[in-house]
Structure 1
Amino acid sequence: MSIDPRPTLMAAARQFYQMGWMMGTAGNLSARMPDGSFWITASGRPKGQLTTDDFVLMTLDTCKDEICLALTLPYPDRRPSAETSIHAAIYRLFADAQACYHVHSIEANLVSLFVIGDALPLPPLEMLKGLGVREENPQITMPIFANYLEVSQIADEICARFKVTVPQVPALLIRNHGVTVWASSLEGASNYVELTEYIFRYMVAKRNIGMGLD
């Protein structure tokens, strides 16, 4: 029998809420099940007070080059997160991804504006090791995507770019929106959120004291 991931997702949401990264109903968390379905936070639910009823179970199917979603076990007053298509894109692209977390922080939004292009250079901090980067003086970038009201457009662009270029770190930024990470475990996804947010805080602090990004 599969372990229900919802209590772990609830605990992570409470932690991120306390950190100021999932204020109000912002952000979304998901976890993939062994059969390929995934639990995702329901839309419009306060992230500091989630219960097991605040999740929706989705099934993920692929149809040629499109992402097809079928809702299973719906609650009468619950809808899946508006950003379900992004989670589905990540699970489709990365077979080893078992969790996908998206949070909103002030620092993530600020660093997404540090560059005009579609990739944010990351400083060569020790924290990059926690994201799987083990190089001497690494030159790493994080992909940035434009924010659209129609979230499926963001998911389509993620799929199109990552099919051509695999990201150097398991994370992406949506400009003026927040960071999304994915990992092979729920604990790993929580760690990635903490690591990326640390890096963003460092970058903002460095910019504020006039040291630039080099």
Structure 2
Amino acid sequence: MMDLRAELAAAARDFYGRGWMLGTAGNLSARREDGFWITASGRPKDRLQQEDFVALDLDGRVLEAVAGRRPSAESSIHRVIYRHFPEARVIFHVHSVEANICGNFARDGRLRLPPLEMLKGLGIPDAEPRVDLPVFANHVEVAQIAADMDTAFAREKPAVPGALIHLHGMTAWGRDFDAARHHLELFEYCFRYLSLARLHGLGGES
């Protein structure tokens, strides 16, 4: 079985190649028995090595880390998702252009996803459904973003396995690496669709 860190590094290279994790932006994590591995802060996502990951427990305490490596500043967001969605085993947070464009289309903290057949891959079986993606305000203090998510998820779980942070990036999760990647790809497809629909005056939402 491939080491979780090696799988996370491979995913990061994939997303870097797609333009979703340029520079040191974005973060990825995967559950382990006593917590989760997450990317270390400030590391280039196309060149991640095993030492570029930090193990945390669900309270944020460091379990394993190479000297000089700090966990991603956004680890608090991952902790909130793992607590509220125990089925989630992998989380991907990326910074795509289309996701940040589409955050501007949100109303009252929700982005209406396009009613496409693709939503079946996000667990929505209906034909031409009306589904909203939660959109959270960005804050300089990431802990405040995590607190907002914690409050929102305690009140109501989203219909789809993801959340958008306005002018910041998209977070998607799944039961394993394949599911998390699949979900992220479908969200990014929706963002591309909405961006192009607006560009061509088609409205984009139902």
TM, length-normalised to structure 1:
0.93
Which ranges in structure 1 are unaligned for 5 or more consecutive residues? 61-67
Structure 1 consecutive aligned stretches of length 4 or more whose deviation exceeds 2 Å: none
- Choose from 165, 173, 181 the match for 2:156: 165
RMSD value, Cα: 1.1
Which amino acid counterpart does residue 56 of structure 2 have in structure 1? M
How far apart are the structure 2 equivalents of 1:126 and 1:182?
A: 20
Q: Which residue of 2 aligns with 1:19?
A: 18
CA distance in 2, matches of 1:15, 1:48: 8
Q: In the TM superposition, what is the alpha-carbon distance from 1:137 to its structure 2 partner? A: 1.9
Partner of 1:40: 38
Residue 58 of structure 1 aligns with an amino acid whose one-letter code is L
Amino acid of the residue matched to residue 28 of structure 2?
A: L
Residue type at the aligned position of 2:72: S
| Distance in 2 of aligned mates of 1:140 and 1:115 | 12
Aligned partner of 1:100 among 82, 85, 91: 91
Q: Which moved more, 1:71-80 or 1:18-27?
A: 71-80
Cα distance in 1 for partners of 2:32, 2:44 equals: 24
- Code of the residue aligned with 1:30 in structure 2: it is S
Match of 2:48 in 1: 50
Q: State how far apart, in whole Å, the 1-side matches of 2:33 and 2:2 are.
A: 10
The separation in 1 between residues aligned to 2:43 and 2:165, in whole angstroms, is: 21
- Following TM superposition, by how much is the alpha carbon of 1:193 offset from its aligned partner in structure 2, in angstroms? 1.2
Residues 100, 168 of structure 2: 8 Å contact kept: yes
Question: Does the Cα contact within 8 Å between 2:106 and 2:135 map onto a contact in 1?
Answer: no
The alignment partner of 1:152 has SS state of: helix
Amino acid at match of 2:13: R
8 Å contact kept, 2:113–2:131? yes
- Residue 174 (structure 1) aligns with: 165
* Deviation string, structure 1 residues 86-105 (Cα, Å, up to 9, x no partner): 00000011111101110000
Query: Cα deviations across residues 52-109 of structure 1 (Å, max 9, x unaligned)?
Result: 111001111xxxxxxx321112211100001000000000111111011100000000
- Partners of 1:29 and 1:38 lie apart in 2 by 10
Amino acid at match of 2:197: K
Secondary structure in 2 matching 1:113? helix
Number of positions where the alignment pairs a residue of Structure 1 with one of Structure 2: 205
Distance 1:111 1:73 in 2: 37
| Separation (CA, whole Å) in 2 of partners of 1:187 and 1:79 | 27
Q: Which amino acid aligns with 2:93?
A: H
Letter in 1 for 2:199: N
Structure 2: segments with no counterpart, 5+ residues: none
Deviations 1:4-40 (A, max 9, x none): 21111111100100000000100000000133x1000
Distance in 2 between the 1:52 and 1:3 partners? Answer: 12
Aligned partners of 1:196, 1:182: CA distance in 2, in Å?
11
Letter of the aligned partner of 1:89 in structure 2? V
CA contact (8 A) 2:117 2:128 kept: no
